[in-house]
Amino acid sequence: MSVSLSVTDVRTCEACWREPVTAVRHTAHGRDLLCRACAEGGCPRRVDLFPPYGIYRLRHPLNQSAVPIRGDGR
């Protein structure tokens, strides 16, 4: 069975990030592109890129003391 990938699909397993994609798992939220070992092992994706506002599970930096960059006020 051959996996057909579009131009924008990732080529590396979304669970281990090491092996090439050889399997597709269809879920309620779309599809997971996985290597054979991760697909057979039921491994979850490690990250979901670009849900509504950025990268899933990305935490805010602990150091909030930095002043945000603003325009020069012209």
What confidence tens digit (pLDDT) does each residue in 3-45 have? 888 888 889 999 999 999 999 999 887 889 999 999 999 998 8
43: tokens are: 């491994």
pTM listed for this prediction: 0.60
39: tokens are: 């697909």
Q: Radius of gyration over alpha carbons of the chain, in Å? A: 18
Residue 34, strand partner residues: 23
Alpha-carbon distances of 46 from 1, 25, 35, rounded to whole Å: 25, 14, 13
Which residue spans within 1-74 are E strands per DSSP?
23-27, 30-34
